[in-house]
Structure 1
Amino acid sequence: MQIVLASTSPYRREIVERLGLPVTAVAPVCDETPLAGETALDTAVRLARSKAMSLAERFPEALIIGGDQVALLDGQQIGKPGSFENGVAMLKWMSGRTVVFHSALALYNSKSGHIQEDVGITRVTLRQLTEQQIRNYLTREPDALNCAGSAKSETLGGALLQKVEADDPNALIGVPLFALVSMLQNEGVEIL
């Protein structure tokens, strides 16, 4: 079966391609607005599922991978900042603190209607950052404004981090790869 990644993120695609399988990346159709009263975990799972299922009509016989990540600090969801100044404010708030990232994964078999879901939890402690360091980072890493909390660990954002705790280091970049391998094997895809 064709494997489709419901994402335009080059980082998510790179993680999935590590498995050596042909992958088609396509933008999902999904409103990413959290629902009132929804937990970070529930938001991440709902959006991962929605992204995967949004491509089912276009790819009726495929394994479709959806993913979403929601960061949480002080009981508040941290989304994508949308602007430079919002990114500065978010990183100032997160500076020196531990943020919990919920990286949800959904694998939808559009032929059978079977869906599998998993969430990778990553605890990230940021260094104590000055406002000038934050501004320098966001100026040099403008793509970070498209990431939860403006924290893009896979490039210069690694300099923001003091400590990362996770069962799967890939989850922070957006794809719990260990869980994806199990899900694909459950669908009969041979990885090794």
Structure 2
Amino acid sequence: MPQNTPRLILASSSRYRRELLARLRLPFEAISPDVDETPRPGEAPEALALRLSVAKAMAVAATRPGRIVIGSDQVATMDGRPIGKPGDFARAQAQLRALSGQTVEFHSALAVTDGQRVEKADVVTRCRFRTLSAQAIDTYLRAEEPYDTAGSAKAESLGIALMESIQSDDPTAIIGLPLIALTRMLAGFGLDPLEAPGAGA
């Protein structure tokens, strides 16, 4: 491995995950994994998220030996049923009407591997949605256009205004990358952000 090659890889094309990982001030590169995300028959949403996070990490690790790779995936559920990405305005509108006043669980799954050993975690965030008027829903959707987001709620921006409360052990989990869990897992691979050379620089 060339001396200036980052030891760490984020197996994701998500801008939000890149921005979150950058908070740890560890050099990294981002590579989009080629993984089939189709659920298996009868697969629970949280099991799907964990499986995909491992698959993404391992897919990239197979092409980058000697590197530490992070994979992540997130699913939203209500009463154990998956809530998908709406795709367009009408579906997002219907989705937010159904979520108004309800509690949604976001499972933010995480996997870290060196190509041999794999550590994984599922960090759960419980979001209680406000009782939303039709006007509030339309105003939000026209401002945010969150059609590629499960639950139609981008908590990292205006979507936070949809919430009555958020409960989690890891405040960045809702955005897609649980940094508290990730820091603990990276330390297990000898990559602690507070001990790494140049950390905080």
Q: Tell me which interval the TM-score lies in, with the shorter structure as reference length.
A: over 0.9
Shift of 1:41: 1.3
What is residue 130 of structure 1 aligned with on the other side? 133
Letter in 2 for 1:25: A
For the pair 1:84 / 2:89, whether they are aligned, the reply is yes
Q: How many residues align?
A: 189
Select 1:159's aligned residue among 148, 155, 161.
161
Shift of 1:47: 1.0
Greater alpha carbon shift after TM alignment, 64-73 vs 130-139: 130-139
For the pair 1:119 / 2:122, whether they are aligned, the reply is yes
What is residue 175 of structure 2 aligned with on the other side? 173
Equivalent pair of 2:106/2:125 in contact (CA under 8 Å): yes
Mapped to 2, the partners of 1:87 and 1:2 lie a distance apart of: 39
For the pair 1:5 / 2:10, whether they are aligned, the reply is yes
Greater alpha carbon shift after TM alignment, 56-65 vs 150-159: 56-65
Select 1:24's aligned residue among 19, 22, 29.
29
Shift of 1:105: 0.2
Q: How does the TM-score come out when normalised to structure 2?
A: 0.89
State the secondary structure of the residue aligned to 1:181: helix
Distance 1:32 1:131, change over 3 A: farther
Letter in 2 for 1:118: A
Structure 2: state its 5+ residue gaps: 1-5, 195-201
Greater alpha carbon shift after TM alignment, 170-179 vs 48-57: 48-57
The structure with the largest alpha-carbon Rg is 2
- Superposed CA RMSD in Å reads 1.3
Mapped to 1, the partners of 2:71 and 2:34 lie a distance apart of: 11
What is residue 64 of structure 1 aligned with on the other side? 69
Shift of 1:135: 2.1
